[in-house]
Amino acid sequence: MKNNRKFSFISAFWILLIFSTTSFAGTGATDDGYGSVLKVIIAVTAFLIAFVLWLVLVYAESNDAKGEKVITPFSKFIHSITQSVSVKDEDEILLDHDFDGIKELDNKIPPWWNALFYGAIIFGIIYMINYHIIGDGNVQENEYNQEMETAALQLELLSQSGALISAETVTILSNEVSLLAGKDIFVKSCAACHGMGGEGLVGPNFTDDYWIHGGGIKDMYRIITDGVPAKGMISWKSQLSPNQIQEVASYIRTLRGTNPPNQKGPEGKKWDFSQEETGSGIDLSDKGVGPVSSVTLSEIDDALVSSGKELFETKCSACHKVEKRFVGPAIRGVIERRSPEWIMNMILDPEKMVKENKIAKELLAEYLSPMANQSLTKDEARAVLEYFRTLTTKK
């Protein structure tokens, strides 16, 4: 009997061990490796502890050398949490019911069960107070927002480090701090060849509309990074960080049309600046792709605005802030950048938009994480659009 039991325990142990190793292999692919290893270690440890406790229990009531029963502290403990009555004392708790020979014992409710029951109630009360009275109960939503915020912070750190800037994603900076930093770099490193005011010297004039390699920010970024060594313009990528290159290129852009004295004559082709200012980034005739092909706008409807605002706050604010760039672009002014149809299509079918629409593709390249489809209905998207109409850059 005892051997038999031992055997079944040892085989159970091995079966469990084998199962836990396969689950380790299975989750290893999807989970991060460290987490699943940890889980397996915890599972195996818990199992071993349980196994040892069981052995203690099994051998707890052995007889000592004199043949007297030894009651170990462990079996006392087990007895105190089960309050079970041993088989030989069952007569004492036998009720006088007798159903065709089936008898009923009046066992006490085991204390462990009571502890679990009252513990669950206490846990429930603490949980409710903690999450629904002190907190707002949106456990998952808060966690999600928290993660989004961390991700945005990481993205900000990354973009500050310049790791995200490349000739494809670089944009013109317009804030004063960056432009001053750009000016500093220009005066130190570039003015010797391009003139203090960008009027041109050995290198070309930056204040006219003529450019050899293109006057767009992306072209400038590329030339400053790689240089044109054959013509005397060196590559700056070992001396300037991507951020600094972006800053100096943005500063160069501010020199356009400043008309300094001693200008060098035009070199290269006349660059079409209108294209950059309104073209690639902003195109109000682009309606995007998706379910919406035309939207008629009339007077702003306040009721629609407030329902749109509410929708925005619940479904979109994890990624979008009105005034500042977050995971996605700042919303203020979006109505001046994009057509109403484009905005609704972006809300209703962002997957298709970032695959097929030029502006959306560029946005994805800039923001790196995709815009989530929040499964809004057309009417809801229309309400959000109405809210966006109130968020203009005009005071």
Cα 183 to Cα 2: distance, rounded to the nearest angstrom? 88
Contact 205, 264 (CB under 8 A): yes
Stretch that binds ligand HEC, among 2-10, 82-90, 121-129, 329-337 (CB under 6 A): 329-337
**Judged by CB under 6 A, does residue 318 bind ligand HEC?**
yes
Stretch that binds ligand HEC, among 16-24, 42-50, 114-122, 203-211 (CB under 6 A): 203-211
**Judged by CB under 6 A, does residue 232 bind ligand HEC?**
yes
The least CB distance from residue 364 to ligand HEC, in Å, is 4
Length of the chain: 395
Question: Closer CB to ligand HEC, residue 171 or residue 189?
Answer: 189
Question: Closer CB to ligand HEC, residue 175 or residue 369?
Answer: 369
Using alpha carbons only, give the angle 159, 165, 170 rounded to the nearest 5 degrees: 115
* DSSP H helical ranges for the chain: 2-30, 33-58, 73-82, 111-128, 139-161, 176-185, 191-194, 217-226, 242-254, 273-274, 302-311, 334-337, 340-348, 350-356, 358-367, 378-389
Among 218, 338, 382, 389, binds ligand HEC (CB under 6 A): 338
The least CB distance from residue 180 to ligand HEC, in Å, is 15
Q: What is the DSSP letter of 278?
A: I
Output the six-digit token pair for 342: 């484009």
Stretch that binds ligand HEC, among 5-13, 40-48, 227-235, 278-286 (CB under 6 A): 227-235
**Judged by CB under 6 A, does residue 328 bind ligand HEC?**
yes
Longest dimension (CA), the chain: 119
**Judged by CB under 6 A, does residue 358 bind ligand HEC?**
no
Question: Closer CB to ligand HEC, residue 256 or residue 337?
Answer: 337
Contact 322, 332 (CB under 8 A): yes
Helix (H, G, I), strand (E, B) or coil at 84: coil
Among 204, 288, 290, 340, binds ligand HEC (CB under 6 A): 204
Site string for ligand HEC, 150-189 (x = CB under 6 A): -----------------------------------x---x
Contact 388, 331 (CB under 8 A): yes
**Judged by CB under 6 A, does residue 337 bind ligand HEC?**
yes
The least CB distance from residue 328 to ligand HEC, in Å, is 3
